[in-house]
Amino acid sequence: MTDRVAIIGAGAWGTALALAFARAGRAVTLWGRDAARMQAMANSRTCGEILPGIALEPGIRPVSALAELAAHPLIVMAVPTQALWTMARQLRGEVAPTAIILSAAKGIERETGYFVTESMADALGPHRFGVLSGPSFAADVARGLPTAIVLALAEAETAERIAQALSGPGFRVYHSTDIRGVEIGGAAKNVLAIAAGIVAGMGLGESARAAMIARGFAELRRFAASHGARPETLMGLSGLGDLVLTASSPQSRNYALGLALGAGKPLAAANPSGKLAEGAFTAAILADMAARRQVEMPIVTAVARVLAGAISVPDAVRELMSRPLRAE
The CATH number of residue 107's host domain is 3.40.50.720
**Residue 188 and residue 171 share a domain:** no
Domain end (from 144, 177, 210):
177
Predicted pLDDT at 177: 98
**Residue 258 and residue 232 share a domain:** yes
**Residue 246 and residue 135 share a domain:** no
Residue 68 counted as domain residue: yes
Judge whether 128 and 101 are in contact, CB under 8 Å.
yes
Distances 196 to 25, 193, 252, 253 between C-alpha atoms, Å = 38, 5, 11, 12
Predicted pLDDT at 38: 96
Residue 221 clears pLDDT 80, i.e. is over it: yes
Where in the sequence numbering do the catalytic residues fall?
Answer: 189
Residue 328 counted as domain residue: no
Domain end (from 142, 177, 212):
177
Domain end (from 126, 148, 177):
177
Predicted pLDDT at 326: 75
Which runs of E-coded beta strand occur in the chain? 4-8, 27-31, 60-63, 74-77, 100-103, 128-133, 147-152, 171-176
d(CA 140, CA 137): 5
Residue 234 clears pLDDT 80, i.e. is over it: yes
d(CA 267, CA 126): 40
| Mean of all residue pLDDT scores within the chain | 94
Distances 313 to 210, 216, 248, 266, 317 between C-alpha atoms, Å = 18, 17, 19, 10, 6
Residue 327 counted as domain residue: no
Residue 229 counted as domain residue: yes
Question: φ, ψ for residue 176 (rounded to 5)?
Answer: -155, 160
Judge whether 148 and 166 are in contact, CB under 8 Å.
no
Judge whether 196 and 207 are in contact, CB under 8 Å.
no
**Residue 124 and residue 75 share a domain:** yes
Where residue 244 falls among pLDDT bands split at 50, 70, 90? very high
Residue 326 counted as domain residue: no
**Residue 186 and residue 89 share a domain:** no
Estimate to the nearest angstrom the gap between the alpha carbon of 286 and the chain centroid. Answer: 15
Mind listing the pLDDT tens digit for each residue in 160-176? 999 999 999 899 999 99
**Residue 87: which residues within 8 A CB-CB, separation 6 or more?**
8, 9, 77, 79
**Residue 204: which residues within 8 A CB-CB, separation 6 or more?**
317
**Residue 259 and residue 148 share a domain:** no
Distances 166 to 3, 116, 150, 160, 318 between C-alpha atoms, Å = 9, 21, 11, 10, 46
Burial profile 135-145: b = 16 or more Cβ within 10 angstroms, e = fewer: bbbbebbbebe
**Residue 213 and residue 169 share a domain:** no
Q: Would the pTM count as exceeding 0.75?
A: yes
* 152 closest CA partner among 81, 237, 30: 237
**Residue 234 and residue 153 share a domain:** no
**Residue 272 and residue 201 share a domain:** yes
CATH of the domain at 295: 1.10.1040.10
Judge whether 26 and 4 are in contact, CB under 8 Å.
yes
Residue 55 clears pLDDT 90, i.e. is over it: yes
d(CA 195, CA 224): 19
The whole domain housing 198 covers 181-321
Mind listing the pLDDT tens digit for each residue in 61-103? 999 999 999 889 999 999 999 999 999 999 988 888 899 999 9
Instruction: Return the number of other C-beta atoms located less than 10 Å from residue 296's C-beta.
Output: 15
**Residue 135 and residue 74 share a domain:** yes
Predicted pLDDT at 325: 66
Residue 129 counted as domain residue: yes
Mind listing the pLDDT tens digit for each residue in 166-205? 999 899 999 999 999 999 999 999 999 999 999 999 999 9
Residue 170, by phi and psi: left (phi above 0), alpha (psi -120 to 50) or beta? left
SS3 state at 217: helix
Mind listing the pLDDT tens digit for each residue in 105-128? 999 999 999 999 999 999 998 899
How many domains are there within the chain? Answer: 2
Residue 268 counted as domain residue: yes
Q: In degrees to the nearest 10, what's the CA dihedral of 239, 245, 248, 253?
A: -100
Estimate to the nearest angstrom the gap between the alpha carbon of 71 and the chain centroid. Answer: 26
The fraction of the chain above a pLDDT of 90, given in percent, is: 87
Residue 10 counted as domain residue: yes
Predicted pLDDT at 309: 93
The bridge status of strand 128-133 relative to strand 60-63 is: unpaired
Predicted pLDDT at 120: 96
**Residue 191 and residue 173 share a domain:** no
**Residue 316 and residue 168 share a domain:** no
